[in-house]
Amino acid sequence: MNTDAFTPDNDAAFSPGELLERLAEQVDALNRPGAIELALESVSSGRIGVADLYTQVLGPLLGRIGSRWQHGTERVWQEHFASHVVRTIIEALYPIVVREASLAPRNGQTVLLVCPPREEHELGARMLSDRFELAGWNAVFLGADTPLAEIVAAARAVRANLVALSVSTVYERVELRSFIDTLRDALPKTRIAIGGPAFAHDPGAWPAEELLDAAHLGLPGAPPGA
């Protein structure tokens, strides 16, 4: 553990892009406490908000980790390490999310956040959960690899107004189509919205009304590169 990491240069004002690069450097150097301290300090010092950290820094950082792994420039164990650093950052921000969310008017709506079966990449859904809470929703996060029948049972139990599915790369669209259709049949009165990397870059011909539209839902967080 590099204790230098705990005395970041407080004078520096990072752009989100610079913060992303500096975080990536710490992760590449396997400096877990350093990376986490850098991110948390950026939020607690007011340099960046939680939602913007998610959309402009951590989301793109996760995309880069996944891409480097896919292109063979990063090993599986490095991807595990890096993902866990990002996860700790996200979870360690939760007390701040709760505090900020308690100041926002609640809208009385409940969103269920899930990844479908075999989808193990849940950090996108986890960040989305916090953004929903910040926007006044009650967010119920179930995470990775949730069976269809369990999504149905949970949506009924918590009286979800919206089921937000986060899908990375594991699903072919024809399979996702039949998944969504079955979910819709089982939950005819619940809105269903799909987000995640599989759709962010290329929604293709997917029906627009099924795509999760963060801006339209009023979720905080500027899009990457904004």
Interface positions with a copy of itself (CB under 8 A) = 1, 3, 6, 30, 32-33, 36-37, 40, 69-70, 72-78, 80-81, 84, 87-88, 90-92, 94-95, 98, 101-102, 106, 117, 133, 138, 140-143, 146-154, 157-158, 172-175, 178-179, 181-183, 185-186
- List the end-to-end C-alpha distance of the chain, in Å, as a whole number: 34
Q: Which is nearer to a copy of itself, 20 or 139 (CB)?
A: 139
Minimum distance from CB of 181 to a copy of itself (Å)? 7
Q: Which is nearer to a copy of itself, 55 or 146 (CB)?
A: 146
Minimum distance from CB of 225 to a copy of itself (Å)? 27
Burial of 172 (0-12, 13-18, 19+ CB in 10 A): exposed
Q: Which is nearer to a copy of itself, 73 or 225 (CB)?
A: 73
Minimum distance from CB of 226 to a copy of itself (Å)? 27
Minimum distance from CB of 153 to a copy of itself (Å)? 5
Burial of 60 (0-12, 13-18, 19+ CB in 10 A): middle
Minimum distance from CB of 202 to a copy of itself (Å)? 13
Tell me which amino acid residue 117 is: P
Which pair of tokens denotes residue 61? 């950082």
Q: Which is nearer to a copy of itself, 170 or 217 (CB)?
A: 170
20-30 core/surface letters (b: 16 or more CB in 10 A; e: else): bebbbebbeee
Nearest to 82 by CA among 96, 94, 72, 68: 68
Q: Is 143 left (phi over 0), alpha (psi -120 to 50) or beta?
A: left
Q: Which is nearer to a copy of itself, 15 or 178 (CB)?
A: 178
Minimum distance from CB of 36 to a copy of itself (Å)? 6
Cα 25 from Cα 174, distance rounded (Å): 39
Tell me the sheet residues that pair with 166.
195
Q: Which is nearer to a copy of itself, 90 or 164 (CB)?
A: 90
